[in-house]
Amino acid sequence: MIGILILAAIACREGTPRTEIRDILDNPRKFVGKTVTVEGTVTENFSLLLFHTFKVTAGEDGIFVLTSQPLPRENTRVEVTGIVRYYAIGGEEMVVIQEEVGD
């Protein structure tokens, strides 16, 4: 959680523009490999292999975030900065944000 708050403070200070989750979901190819900042409420969280995973939801739109940091609590408002990644596993396709964590 501290990592997310630090990233949020840095993003606000540097004037990083926020990207709407809906924009990423509507046109993922435009964003894959690029750094984005999204804002929303944590609606799910769980550990998956080496990463912790949580879902950030804004309105009806949600996107999963992969992080090496401790998971934020559900119903917490967060701002996350990370790189948009695309994964295809079997017949499933998924667009996620891999959180950037400062040194």
At residue 2, does pLDDT exceed 80?
no
Q: Does the predicted model carry a pTM greater than 0.75? A: yes
Domain ranges of the chain: 2-99
Give the span between the Cα atoms of 77 and 32, in whole angstroms: 24
pLDDT tens, residue by residue, 14-64: 567 999 999 999 999 999 999 999 999 999 999 877 779 999 999 999 999
pLDDT tens, residue by residue, 52-99: 999 999 999 999 999 999 999 999 999 999 999 999 888 888 999 999
Architecture category of domain 2-99 in CATH: Beta Barrel (2.40)
Range 28-31, long-range pairs (CB < 8 A, 24+ positions): 28/84, 28/86, 28/95, 31/84, 31/95
According to the model, what pLDDT value does residue 9 have? 47
DSSP string, the chain: -HHHHHHHHHHHHHTPPP--HHHHHH-HHHHBTSEEEEEEEEEEEEEETTEEEEEEEETTEEEEEEESSPPPPTT-EEEEEEEEEEEEETTEEEEEEEE----
